[in-house]
Structure 1
Amino acid sequence: MISVLQRVREARVEVGGQTVGAIGPGLLVLVCAERGDTEAEADRLLAKILKLRIFSDAAGKMNQSVQDTGGGLLLVSQFTLAADTTGGNRPSFTQAAAPDEGRRLYDYVVAQARALHPQVATGQFAADMQVHLVNDGPVTIPLRIPPAAGVYQK
């Protein structure tokens, strides 16, 4: 699974002019399931997201996690993170999970996040979303959890 974490002061997602998810300080997380991903990769990704120490402590050092700070999580599906741009000028998305599998894994990540963290908001899977954010720092961290060994990847 692939994600991009952005430490934010605030973030929201709109669909059709309506806000469908919003948080104050916390993490905006763009999430992409790749072919071959399972719940195991989703669990490892979420564990890393929740424990990654990218928030400042009292001394100004990046030493706290979103769980330590009680910040929000805004989880947004984004299959374009799986873009392959090596073959020309039009990205290929063949490494992204099929839509049904992508939705299933995204829904799984959301459900697990809600079970483990008190403040979770979401975008809307497969919708035309407008994402608004105030990046704090800015701090933007790419994170990839590869499929377990032995899983076929083309």
Structure 2
Amino acid sequence: MNFNKIASFCLLSCLMLMCCINKASAQDKYNTEVPKDIIILRSTKDYKSALATAKQAATRLHKKLDLRGLTPDKKIGLTMSKADCFGSGGGDDLGYPCYQARGDGNAFNDNYISVEYSDAYKGFAKGYYIVVAAITDVKSTDMKAQLAGINKL
């Protein structure tokens, strides 16, 4: 009888450990850092200057301007709306103010103009608004082609 209790406890412990390992692995895959090249057109400490550059770049490069609903915030640089920060739009409750960098998580490649805040990017100088033209795979032909097009203008 005592042996059955010990065996049951060991089996239950192993199953719980396996569940924890699977959850950690799934979470690790979701939050992995993915190396990307980010094409930056300008960096400045002034949001209005960054916004003006972004608008001009979108027009001249014939690209979509997507500010992603972000607005300047004295505390963290840029913030999403209160509704988006508190998850009422269907996302996670991040608290307000909150900011998620473009390309965060699995860093999808994209091709539009935006204004981002440098503090959220690993290895970037802090305190700058950056005008981002695209996110591409590291040293990709797409990155080279986009840079060539930008450099023409």
Give the structure with the higher percent strand.
Answer: 1
Choose 1 or 2 for highest CA Rg. 2
Q: Which has the higher contact order (CA 8 A, sep 6+)?
A: 1
Same fold? TM cut 0.5: no
TM-score, normalising length from structure 2? 0.29
Give the structure with the higher percent helix.
Answer: 2
TM-score, normalising length from structure 1? 0.29
